[in-house]
Amino acid sequence: MRLVRIKRVVWDVVAIADRRGRTVWDQLVEDPDRHARKMRALLHHTARDGPPHDPRKSKPLRDGIFELRQGPKKGPKLRVFYFYDAGRMVICTHAVWKREAVPEEIDRAVVWKTRYFRAKARGAVEIITP
C-alpha cells in the first residue's frame, strides 16, 4: 500500500493512494473552491498541532474513523475522512462534499483502515514524500 506524505511536523499527515496513485490531497489541490484551499491549510495545521479539538472542524464518527470538515455554515461541507496510527500519524482516506457523513462513506473509510493495518502487518506500507 502506498501512502503519500502531505506534511510532517509534530504529526505525520499522509493520504492513501488509490490504484491510479491519486490521493485526497490531489483532489484538494485540483478543487478551485475556497473551502478546498482552507482544508489544505487545516491539514497543514494538523501536522503541526494535531487534529483540531473543535467539533465543527473535526469529530469522531465510528470504528475509529474521524472527519475533518470545512465548508459554509449551511449546505454541503467538504469532509476528509481519516484515522490514526501509532506515532502521531493521521491517515486520510478520501474526501466528499456532503451535508452529513453518510454511512456508505464511513464504510469506505473503514475498508481503507482495514486494508492499511493488514498491509502494515505484512510490512507492505510505503510512504512517499513528494
Residue-wise pLDDT tens digits, 30-48? 989 899 999 999 999 999 9
Give the chain's mean pLDDT.
94
Binned at pLDDT 50, 70 and 90, residue 116 comes out as very high
Distances in Å between the Cα of 34 and the Cα atoms of 38, 39, 92 are 6, 9, 20
| pTM check: above 0.85 | yes
At 47 the three-state DSSP class reads: helix
At 101 the three-state DSSP class reads: coil
Tell me the torsion sign for CA atoms 55, 5, 38, 107. Answer: negative
Binned at pLDDT 50, 70 and 90, residue 51 comes out as very high
Are the C-beta atoms of 82 and 92 separated by less than 8 Å? Answer: yes
What is the percentage of the chain residues whose pLDDT exceeds 70?
A: 100
* pLDDT for 101 beyond 80: no
